[in-house]
Amino acid sequence: MPAPHELGKPFAVKTLEQTDTSITLQVGRGSETVVFTYTPPYKVEVDFPGGQAAGEKELPHTPEATKPPEYPAITLEGNPAFANKYDPKKHTYLLRLAYHPNPKNTKEALFYNVVASGEKAEAFYGLYITDTRMQVRVTGDDISDTVRKREGTAGTIKAESIEIIRGRKAGSEILHEKVRLSELP
């Protein structure tokens, strides 16, 4: 639910990156901004109520194979270990995220480097993740196998979306799929 002072204001939508296989958008209104990447399947089928319109031919339904993702998907929540960093010359973003597998013991943490580049990097930096008490959800690709691990680092995530969690503590699950806060029941 938007804040009362934001009701009636239009959403600002900005295309950050578009490729042959995906599109990255930044959507915001007031102080709330979300960046996400949508990767459509190779075939989209839509069923309309009432069946097909008059004169339309029914298309044959053929199963098509989809390519597996290049890197495994990951979604996790945690706290920033320090303020986010942005290098305007290289257009790179870095956030060190402390993931707590045991929410009752916050001294126990696994650290993940969250990275992004290009326009996504600038957009993520605009979220102003500067306080280690903030709760964030990161969704993206686990590129840990392609990056040299630093001691004390559990992995590296190429971020597709970063969301600030409000009103609750970060969860302790690591999901091996891309799940946004808005998709939760």
Q: Which of 38, 39, 41 is nearest to 64 (CA)?
A: 41
- The whole-number pLDDT of residue 55 equals 44
Domains and CATH numbers, the chain: 69-180 (2.40.50.140)
Please state the pTM of the whole predicted model: 0.63
Q: What span, in angstroms and rounded, lies between the C-alpha atoms of 13 and 18? A: 14
- The whole-number pLDDT of residue 70 equals 80
- The whole-number pLDDT of residue 121 equals 94
Residues of the chain predicted below pLDDT 70: 1-7, 22, 25, 30-34, 36-69, 184-185
Q: Which of 112, 103, 97 is nearest to 169 (CA)?
A: 103
- The whole-number pLDDT of residue 49 equals 34
